[in-house]
Amino acid sequence: LSGCLPSNPWITDDPEFWDLNAKLVEIPTRMRVERWAFNFSELIRDPKGRQNFQLFLKKEFSGENLGFWEACEDLKYGDQSKVKEKAEEIYKLFLAPGARRWINIDGTTMGITVKGLKHPHRYVLDAAQTHIYMLMKKDSYGRYLKSPIYKEMLAKAVVPQQTVKKRQVKLDVIVGFDFLLVARVEKA
């Protein structure tokens, strides 16, 4: 992995760190892209990583899985007054027979979900969302890391330049009872 520069981004006048690590920067840092390979949750938590993963899923004709997962997140963390409306929308788009972006979940999970939709709440789709999350994690994620899409992103990722300033060490000799060597660091 490449180094983390600057070591403390809170104490810097250099905006490069903030620019390179913006949520949806066009080309992310190499360290950020490498982090996506640590585990699936690192990838899916990063907006740019999720965007790149979505490109891969579309090529595999399974983009609806991530779309469903994101819709469930929106339901969980969205406006409480729109929960019923959003839950119905998600059902029609992803779960209903003949849905435009139908996802493939097992019968047991579908039964739990449909039963829960009779009295919708924020977490009504958790069983289906977990099923799809595990499907993406166990199936698509491994193929994504081996795909040209991930490898291209890794190849063109930015490696920040070393910003450590050159320092010059000057030696001062102080004579007292014994010789003492003192190093003084000065900025060049």
Render pLDDT for 68-106 as a digit per residue (tens, 0 to 9).
999 999 999 999 999 999 999 999 999 999 999 999 999
CA distance linking residue 74 with residue 62, whole number of Å: 20
Residue carrying the six token digits 């289906």:
128
Q: What is the pTM of this model?
A: 0.73
Report the mean per-residue pLDDT for the chain.
83
| Cβ-Cβ contacts under 8 Å for 6 (sequence gap 6 or more) | 12, 14, 17, 163
Return the half-sphere exposure (C-beta side, CA atoms, 13 A cut-off) of residue 30. Answer: 11
Name 182's bridge partners.
172
CA distance linking residue 69 with residue 57, whole number of Å: 13
Of the two residues 187 and 121, the one the predictor is more confident about is 121
Looking at residues 106-119, what average pLDDT do you find?
A: 95
Share of the chain above pLDDT 90, in %: 68
CA distance linking residue 1 with residue 37, whole number of Å: 11
Structure tokens of 95?
């779960």
Distance, CA of 184 to chain centre: 44
pLDDT band per the 50, 70, 90 thresholds, residue 159: confident
CATH architecture of 36-156: Orthogonal Bundle (1.10)
Name 8's bridge partners.
none
For residues 70 and 129, is the Cβ–Cβ distance under 8 A? no
Q: Which of 5-19, 45-59, 171-185 has the highest mean pLDDT?
A: 45-59
Looking at residues 105-121, what average pLDDT do you find?
A: 95
In the predicted structure, residue 160 carries a pLDDT above the cut 70 = yes
| Cβ-Cβ contacts under 8 Å for 177 (sequence gap 6 or more) | none
